Amino acid sequence: MSPAGRRTLVTGGAGFLGSHLCEALLQRGADVLCVDNFHTGTRANIAALLPHPRFELLEHDVSVPLDVDVDRIFNLACPASPVHYQHDPVQTTKTCVQGAIHMLALAKARGARILQASTSEVYGDPEVHPQPESYWGRVNPIGMRSCYNEGKRCAETLFFDYRRQHDLEIKVVRIFNTYGPRMYPDDGRVVSNFIVQALRGEDITLYGDGSQTRSFCYVDDLIEALLASMDTPAAFTGPVNVGNPAELSMRELAELVLRLSGSRSRIVHQPLPADDPKLRRPDIGLAQRELGWNPKVPLEKGLLATIAYFRALLNFG
């Protein structure tokens, strides 16, 4: 279904994923309302969209109620990098939980369909590998990552309770590690850290022994999955995993970034942060079946595009 003629709200629309999503929605003919408090997002991310006649920006914090006329809501507002979400953990929980409550109330008031950007962090440090949606996870409720993990888990609960109590049309999408242009050079996530360090000739900071794994999805693939999820039949609620199942260790990632960037940086070890998951790879069978979706961009190609982005950003052209 084309979103043409619809007014679509994207919370967190000035962020890394949100700005790509706003752009894709405009390309598909939607009217887009971007709501953001610029906690981690930037005006630069959406600068090219501001003159667009179907794009509107509202500076607003989702932990405060909002009443706007929309018929679709993508709820992405929330800092995503561990450094950012741990900086003000109480605010992170408020954004996750109160943000979900307010956006669900808005969806109920307007009869809007609403999608939640959930996360692989709901699985915590998993004992089941790869992670299917049926796995309930292994999450520390009182650790450094809990503000985000438990906040996102509670948001999922709220989405399903609104579905049961108020018959809302919900979509819960569990996003696995995603990377690409518009990541921030200083947000502490591994892909941006390694690329920026490699380009600057600084040491590559590998946490722990580097044997922990992740599976990285290129941003363009992820946006396709979010759009496809929103357009699934009303009966499909998720939760659905979206990510690229190609898994590698952080040591392999460091070596790959060094090779692709032509850098001579050294790899140095730093302590592994608390509760850092040892393994992560999505089981995407459900997304393949229900969304008709598969990630298309191989890691090397996506990393080359991301390296080119950071080269230009950091003036290493």
Considering only the stretches 97-105, 136-144, 203-211, 291-299, report the one whose residues sit in contact with ligand UDP under the rule CB under 6 A: 203-211
> Which partner in ligand UDP, ligand NAD, none is near 82 (CB below 5 to 8 A by kind)?
ligand UDP
Regarding 150 and contact with ligand NAD (CB under 6 A), the answer is no
Rounded to 5 degrees, φ, ψ at 289 are -75, -50
Residue 117 engages ligand NAD in binding (rule: CB under 6 A): yes
φ and ψ at residue 31, rounded to 5 degrees: -85, 130
* Contact residue for ligand NAD among 8, 63, 261, 265 (CB under 6 A): 63
Q: By rule CB under 6 A, what string of x and - marks binding of each residue 171-210 to ligand NAD?
A: ----x-xx--------------------------------
DSSP at 71? S
Give the dihedral of Cα atoms 255, 200, 220, 58; nearest 10 deg. Answer: 140
Q: For 243, phi and psi rounded to 5 degrees?
A: 175, 175
Question: Does 250 sit near ligand UDP (CB under 6 A)?
Answer: yes
Q: Are strands 247-249 and 213-215 parallel, antiparallel or unpaired?
A: antiparallel
Q: Which of 205, 252, 305, 309 binds ligand UDP (CB under 6 A)?
A: 205
Token look-up 């049309």 returns 169
Active site residue 148: yes
Binding mask 152-181 for ligand UDP (x = CB under 6 A): -------------------------x----
Instruction: Name the H helices within 88-145.
Output: 89-110
Please choose, from the candidates 49, 50, 51, 73, the residue with its C-alpha nearest in 3D space to the C-alpha of residue 62. Answer: 73
Catalytic residue among 123, 148, 179, 218: 148
What residues act catalytically? 148
